[in-house]
Amino acid sequence: MKSTIIHCHNICSFELVINDIPYQCHKPVIYFLSAVVRNFIDENPNSQSYFIRIEDANKYHVLISQILAFKTVIFSKDSYKFIQQFSKLLGITFFQDSLPTLNHYYINGYKNCSIMKNLMGLEKLYRSVTFENMKDSQNLMSNLLNILSAQTIAHSFISACMTLPYKIELFLEMIIGQDSFTLSKAIDRLAKKIIQGNEWHKNEMNLLLKLLAESQNKKYHTVQISHRDTNSEENEPNYFYIEIIRKDNVEELQKYVISKTNNDQQKDQWVIIPSDCERCSLLYNHNWSYNHMKIIDYAAFCGSSKCFRQLVINNFYFTKNTIKYAIAGGNVEIIRLCEQYERDEQLFQTSNYIINFSNTLEYAMMFNHHNIVEWLIDFKGQEKDAMNHYDTIIKYFNIKTLLFYLKRGHNPNNFIIPAAKYGCIELLEALKQLGCMNYNVNDQLTKMNPLHFAIKNQNYECIKYLLKEPSINVNSQTFPHLKTPLHMAVENNDEISVCLLLKEAEVNQELKNNEYKTPLQVAKDKKMVEIINIFLSTAKEHPLKFNR
């Protein structure tokens, strides 16, 4: 019996020739990607190449190769117009979600979006405020309070306190006396976070609550600072070398720590014991493997590059969290030293743990180190991880990184749920201006839509805003509990949200959850008298909306 050899590669190979430059690609790939080439192949099934001329294509050789190889494509302002032309001539619809956003971003630009400019100004204000420029900062905050909602200001205030805990007094000084309603909103949010018991932010929240209680004293921030060292010295058992590292005093480190350390066992004894005087809870995160922090990690977080380098030279080994603390600290010199350990096998052997930058993007975002965010995405392979942190960006009010994401072609719809969750009504409006069209996006696991999240977090301004959108699905149900927004409002005993929802003609009160109960039945079972009265009074006012 004779056999026939078929070279599958030859059958599947295809050449796309652009301006006389051949690009090798697989026929099934180009067939799927380009409608123009697909039609050509259908008419000429034996063809192995397709010729086309595209202006300026030679300039974007690498970009074309990435597209044809189905690799990650990074948009830029320079390449945007070419991508538009390239997609149009070849009938490529692959970028249809990203191009409208880029069109607005590059042609109109976020600078023409006044809301986004104000949000960027607010983010910058928190980072730039000092005691010396306090008067100017208060004036800027006063202007922003007249433009932005109290809900957005309150969220940004709490986020700034979490991101920059060592400047909490400054933030309070800047905002107190400006708008009592804004401050009350912030206190409400703070109380919710304390109730939730978020371990990461326990120290920051406790300090903020204490300072709020002392805010009647005009010199509360000065008093806090003057007593900080005294409190630390009295309460931190290892205060003396903590202060050495904080001040990056390498001579004192050599004298009091390194010179007294002769073996690995002694090195392990140099730890930072948890203290209420430390403002940043990340240093004592109980989700990590130990509660006592190694001094090399503390040096990385403080950005004390001289002490960090000296500890490395004297073989104080990296822990599995050293790079995370280095990213959180934001000191480029320390990060570069960590990178040397990642690359150098000989150096790698001196570490007890694998040295890599995976899962560090969150910490750069958390502490608003935007340049490090870009570096991790562009040079450390964090493109895929970047898609997991839409919530993180909004949680820590990182507007600069948000704009960076939009510039890279991320769909603005991805930020709708976080904006509703954290009560940033101006951000919802800005995203709409920047191309967002879908207010019915839902969480992949719970199927909660933006309205669910706004109701869960009692962000009433966002609820009102979303209910005005004609496309919003007010009867969307979660998975697996089948809760509508009305179910969720009733279960939270949230009278305001229930009132807002019942005013909407499209709300279906007869939908049942996974326990086969309507919202009214839930209220009845839990004996929520006020909620039941709202249902009854609304039924009298709008009888046509109710079956019973």
Domain boundary among 330, 356, 382: 356
Per the prediction, the chain carries an average pLDDT of 81
Same structural domain, 480 and 455? yes
Overall domain count for the chain: 4
From residue 212, alpha-carbon distances to 161, 281, 382 in Å are: 12, 19, 39
The one-character DSSP state at 469 is -
Please check whether residue 361 lies inside any domain of the structure.
no
Same structural domain, 124 and 52? no
pLDDT of residue 9: 44
From residue 234, alpha-carbon distances to 205, 231, 414, 469, 540 in Å are: 22, 5, 48, 57, 65
Give 388-420 pLDDT, tens digit per residue. Answer: 899 999 999 999 999 899 888 788 889 999 999
The one-character DSSP state at 106 is I
Same structural domain, 323 and 352? yes
Higher-pLDDT residue of 104 and 471 is 471
Same structural domain, 81 and 174? no
Please check whether residue 369 lies inside any domain of the structure.
no
- Bridge pairing between strands 49-52 and 293-294: unpaired
pLDDT band at 91 (very low <50, low <70, confident <90, very high): confident
Least confident of 110-119, 313-322, 358-367, 492-501: 110-119
Domain boundary among 356, 389, 409: 356
Same structural domain, 155 and 208? yes
Residue 238 has pLDDT above 50, yes or no: yes
Q: Name the nearest CA neighbour of 176 among 141, 210, 128.
A: 141
Least confident of 1-5, 254-258, 357-361, 440-444: 1-5
Query: Which residue range(s) make up the domain with 532?
Result: 439-548
- Bridge pairing between strands 21-26 and 49-52: unpaired
pLDDT of residue 289: 45
Name the strand (E) or helix (H) holding 377.
helix 370-379
Please check whether residue 282 lies inside any domain of the structure.
no
Q: Name the nearest CA neighbour of 390 among 370, 408, 416.
A: 416
Same structural domain, 121 and 42? no
Name the strand (E) or helix (H) holding 52.
strand 49-52
> 292-317: string of b/e by CB count within 10 Å (b at 16+)?
ebbbbbbbbbbbbbebbebbbeeebb
Give the predicted TM-score (pTM) of the model. 0.74
CATH of the domain at 524: 1.25.40.20
Distance CA 497, CA 39 (A): 54
Residue type, 522: V
Please check whether residue 410 lies inside any domain of the structure.
no
pLDDT of residue 186: 66
Cα-based angle 133, 134, 135 (whole degrees, multiple of 5): 95
Domain boundary among 308, 323, 356: 356
Give 174-210 pLDDT, tens digit per residue. Answer: 877 665 556 666 666 666 665 565 555 667 777 777 7
Q: Name the nearest CA neighbour of 405 among 359, 374, 439, 375.
A: 374
Distance CA 488, CA 484 (A): 6
User: Which residues lie closer than 8 Å to 193 by C-beta, 6 or more apart?
Assistant: 158, 201, 205
Please check whether residue 105 lies inside any domain of the structure.
no
Give 417-443 pLDDT, tens digit per residue. Answer: 999 999 999 999 888 877 667 889 999
Please check whether residue 425 lies inside any domain of the structure.
no
Please check whether residue 395 lies inside any domain of the structure.
no
Please check whether residue 430 lies inside any domain of the structure.
no
Same structural domain, 91 and 141? no
Same structural domain, 200 and 258? no
Same structural domain, 213 and 248? no
Same structural domain, 443 and 539? yes
Residue type, 442: N
Same structural domain, 91 and 169? no
Same structural domain, 20 and 85? yes
